[in-house]
């Protein structure tokens, strides 16, 4: 079938193409790649012959979302380290428009982290039926004891370059991001090793002073994890971690846009301070995403979700989120003055570039992978999601 071969005509959509919107567009997908973008739907005779067709009905066609920071969903966690769990997570988030993601760990034992690396490598080594794992994000265990957030403090470790060298040697190309507290002794060596290997070194769960973050950026630090959360705040005499993130354009800022982790006014401040290509929307979603209120677990710690907000049972710290990428996009459109092209960039193109995937995905462009999301006019419902031209959510899914 043409669907299985990745051959589609998607018509009647408002397509976000770079910084513009192609209205009433037709998108031709052949062999899993975008072959033509026709504003107004005008196609040469015969161009659509034999293609499986989807009528977008005036909805929005966006580049697939890329989530660099997601722990789980629909009852499963990447720490479960099993193909069944990874299928559940990637299927759920694909239904919300995510086409690629990083399997994100928590601060845990070395053995538990290595189990995730092994499981992720195996999962990526076979056909992935839903959203694709682009790699692994190690969140910890080299974080600050002062800012554990929902990370299990029992497993916090000083930065261990020997561990990181062993992981990157055994699993080349698998680790795409590592979060650590850059002020800790030994962190600079780890950051430099990551930067040399093209791995995103990110500051998170950190008490770093402004000067310490700047020194880390010199060493290769290029991202801040869930900006404003679990990091030293801005003060006018000691700008702290937040001050460095806001003012240093070498640092990309992750953002959980759910209205609980960051006040809308602080979000507006962030997008005014940072260049548009330096903000990255993430979910930080945990296993509770998609399942509603109740009791859950994160890294061995009890979590209660009430009215969609996840908090540690002991202490009440925010414990990840139940956010999805489509909800983050809608929140940004509602609570900032950004248009859909700018917000789409934060959900797709910016993380693609950070992961070195900009020549493959992250935008709607000729020759790029058909990683696509079709939503309604209000950005509430995702009707179709394609990964490299395969329909992984909606309609008649093909393997």
Question: Catalytic residue numbers?
Answer: 284
Angle separating helix axes 187-196 and 161-170, nearest 10 degrees: 20
| Token pair in block for residue 215 | 């020194």
The C-alpha atoms of residue 304 and residue 366 are separated, in whole angstroms, by: 45
The C-alpha atoms of residue 288 and residue 105 are separated, in whole angstroms, by: 15
Angle separating helix axes 83-94 and 110-124, nearest 10 degrees: 70
Whether the CB-CB separation of 392 and 131 falls below 8 Å is answered with yes
Residue 165 to residues 60, 119, 171, 219: CA-CA distances in angstroms? 44, 19, 10, 17
Residue 164 to residues 22, 140, 188, 197, 231: CA-CA distances in angstroms? 45, 11, 13, 11, 23
Residue with tokens 């290769």: 220
Q: How many CB atoms are closer than 10 A to CB 121?
A: 17
| Bridge partner list, 306 | 309
């Amino acid at each position: 079938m043409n669907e299985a071969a990745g051959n589609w005509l998607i018509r009647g959509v408002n397509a976000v193409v770079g910084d513009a919107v192609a209205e009433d567009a037709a998108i031709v997908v052949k062999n899993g790649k975008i072959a033509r973008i026709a504003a107004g739907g005008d196609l040469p005779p015969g161009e659509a012959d034999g293609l499986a067709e989807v009528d977008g009905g005036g909805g929005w066609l966006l580049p697939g979302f890329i989530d660099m920071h997601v722990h789980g969903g629909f009852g499963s966690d990447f720490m479960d380290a099993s193909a069944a769990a990874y299928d559940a997570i990637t299927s759920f988030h694909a239904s919300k428009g995510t086409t690629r993601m990083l399997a994100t760990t928590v601060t845990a034992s070395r053995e538990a982290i290595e189990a995730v690396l092994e499981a992720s490598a195996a999962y990526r080594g076979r056909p992935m039926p839903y959203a694709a794992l682009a790699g692994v994000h190690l969140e910890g265990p080299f974080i600050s004891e002062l800012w554990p957030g929902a990370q299990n403090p029992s497993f916090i470790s000083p930065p261990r370059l020997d561990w990181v060298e062993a992981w990157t040697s055994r699993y080349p190309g698998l680790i795409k991001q590592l979060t650590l507290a850059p002020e800790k002794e030994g962190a600079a060596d780890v950051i430099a090793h990551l930067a040399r290997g093209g791995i995103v070194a990110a500051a998170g769960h950190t008490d770093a002073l402004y000067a310490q973050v700047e020194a880390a950026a010199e060493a290769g630090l290029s991202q801040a994890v869930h900006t404003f959360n679990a990091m030293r705040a801005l003060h006018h005499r000691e700008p702290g971690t937040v001050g460095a993130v806001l003012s240093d354009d070498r640092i990309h800022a992750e953002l959980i846009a759910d209205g609980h982790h960051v006040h809308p006014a602080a979000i507006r401040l962030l997008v005014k301070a940072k260049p548009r290509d330096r903000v990255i929307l993430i979910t930080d979603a945990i296993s509770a995403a998609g399942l509603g209120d109740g009791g859950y677990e994160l890294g061995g710690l009890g979590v209660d979700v009430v009215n969609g907000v996840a908090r540690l049972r002991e202490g009440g710290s925010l414990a990840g989120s139940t956010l999805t990428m489509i909800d983050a996009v809608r929140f940004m459109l509602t609570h900032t003055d950004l248009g859909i092209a700018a917000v789409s960039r934060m959900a797709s193109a910016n993380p693609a570039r950070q992961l070195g995937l900009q020549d493959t995905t992250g935008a709607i462009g000729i020759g790029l992978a058909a990683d696509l999301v079709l939503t309604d006019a209000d950005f509430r419902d995702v009707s179709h999601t394609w990964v490299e031209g395969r329909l992984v959510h909606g309609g008649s899914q093909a393997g």
